Structure 1
């Protein structure tokens, strides 16, 4: 397993500085957030080439481009066309940057509020994205994310079944799944099987009052709940079963560190990297599990 920084952690810095910090920390790569000042549809082709050269100079792979586009399920047809056009631009950037996958959001509402037509509409446009991505030999990654159609493994697999394209899969995110209050341990990895493309890691915990730095409010099946973003091990998300399962299924992809706790970016990434390495060392050996 290879470990990357999520560049969104460093959005207050240039992509050059984000890569420099990522290298200093000893990470293998950087997942680039498709937000200014790092990368966007407005970025020039020349600048994208410069970013590619920077990544090579820092000896960093770019496993994924974290797009913020999509939201097809609740958008108008005109908005979907615009988002699809933006996707095609990011796809060109992925090709230049030698990145294997692009994150696309299917949209909402929360899975427990969604109707079949939400899945149908999202699937229609995501299939178009997948077909275009095939031209570049790229994959579409849907993040298991709270307040979306794919806030559970089951919701993700339901949507994948409707898209029915081999180059579309899911990003496992235990932090998001904790918010949703769905299983994020061994069984979640087993159920994803071959559809697991990528892994995000961050920690959070439920709190009584929001408003302070690092806190937020989210709608879950329990109503509006309050959360605090934490460093790994300081929240309530137990990642050890996840790493045990990743070892069990012989996962050889990437893990991106997404920590958004209210601490300096480099400090919180250094902390989380240390914790992840400890958990990987503490993996419980189990019988090999066959991925279907």
Structure 2
């Protein structure tokens, strides 16, 4: 498994500085957030070429571009057309940056509140995105994310079946799945099967109130809940069964660390990288034999 840092952790810094820190910390790659000052549809082609040169200089792969466009399920037709046009630009940037995957948001509402037409509209536009991505041999990844149509493995597979394109898959995100209160361990990995394209890692925990740094509120099936973003093993998300399952199925793709805990960016990524390496060293398979 290869490990990337999420550039969004360093959004207060230039993409040059983000890459420099990522390299210093010992990551294999960097997943670039499609937000300024790192990358956007407003970025010039010359600047994108410069970013590519930087990645080569730092020997960092760019496995994915973390797009924030989409939201097709609840957008107007004009808004969907605009998002699709923006996606086409991001695909061009992905091609220049040699990035295989582009994240697109499916939109909401929460899966437990969504109607069939939400899925149908999202599927229509995501299928168009998939067609454009195919022209560049790129993949679209939909993140399993709370407050979206894809909150669980089941709701993710429902949308994928409606899109019916081989180059569209899912991002497993145990932190998000903890918020949703759905399984994020071995069963989730087995359930995703070949549709598992990418993995995000972060920790969270439920708290009594929001307002402090790193806290937020979110609508779940249990009502309005409060959460605190944490470093790994300081929250309530147990990632070890996930890593065990990834090893079991022979997952050899990318894991991106995107810790948003209220600690300095470089410090929290260094901490989480150390924890992930420890968990990978302690991986066990279903017969309880440690994998060395």
Q: TM-score range by the shorter chain?
A: over 0.9
The alpha-carbon deviation at position 285 of structure 1 amounts to: 2.6
The alpha-carbon deviation at position 70 of structure 1 amounts to: 0.1
Aligned Cα root-mean-square deviation (Å) = 0.5
Quote the residue 2:160 is aligned against: 160
Distance 1:277 1:259 in 2: 15
Quote the residue 2:260 is aligned against: 260
Distance 2:151 2:52 in 1: 33
The alpha-carbon deviation at position 61 of structure 1 amounts to: 0.0
TM-score by length of 2: 0.98
Distance 2:92 2:278 in 1: 37
Quote the residue 2:101 is aligned against: 101
Structure 2 counterpart SS, 1:35: coil
Quote the residue 1:12 is aligned against: 12
Distance 1:165 1:199 in 2: 20
What are the within-5 Å matches in structure 2 for residues 271-290 of structure 1?
Answer: 271-286=271-286
The alpha-carbon deviation at position 43 of structure 1 amounts to: 0.0
> 5+ residue gaps in structure 2?
288-292
- Deviations for 1:156-186, whole angstroms, at most 9, x for unmatched residues? 0000000000000000000000000000000
Runs of 4+ in 1 over 6 A off after TM superposition: none
Structure 2 counterpart SS, 1:243: helix
Q: Does 1:183 align with 2:186?
A: no
Distance 2:8 2:141 in 1: 17
- Deviations for 1:13-48, whole angstroms, at most 9, x for unmatched residues? 000000000000000000000000000000000000
Structure 2 counterpart SS, 1:68: strand
Distance 1:198 1:114 in 2: 25
Distance 2:286 2:159 in 1: 31
TM-score by length of 1: 0.98
Distance 2:156 2:104 in 1: 13
What are the within-5 Å matches in structure 2 for residues 1-292 of structure 1?
Answer: 1-286=1-286
Distance 2:144 2:243 in 1: 17
Distance 2:263 2:111 in 1: 32
The alpha-carbon deviation at position 286 of structure 1 amounts to: 3.3
Report how many aligned residue pairs link the two structures: 287
- Deviations for 1:126-146, whole angstroms, at most 9, x for unmatched residues? 000000000000000000000
The alpha-carbon deviation at position 54 of structure 1 amounts to: 0.1
Q: Is the 8 A contact 2:180 2:221 kept in 1?
A: yes
Quote the residue 1:290 is aligned against: none
- Deviations for 1:48-96, whole angstroms, at most 9, x for unmatched residues? 0000000000000000000000000000000000000000000000000
Distance 1:99 1:151 in 2: 25
Quote the residue 2:290 is aligned against: none
Distance 2:274 2:125 in 1: 39
Q: Is the 8 A contact 2:245 2:285 kept in 1?
A: no
Structure 1 counterpart SS, 2:68: coil
Structure 1 counterpart SS, 2:41: coil
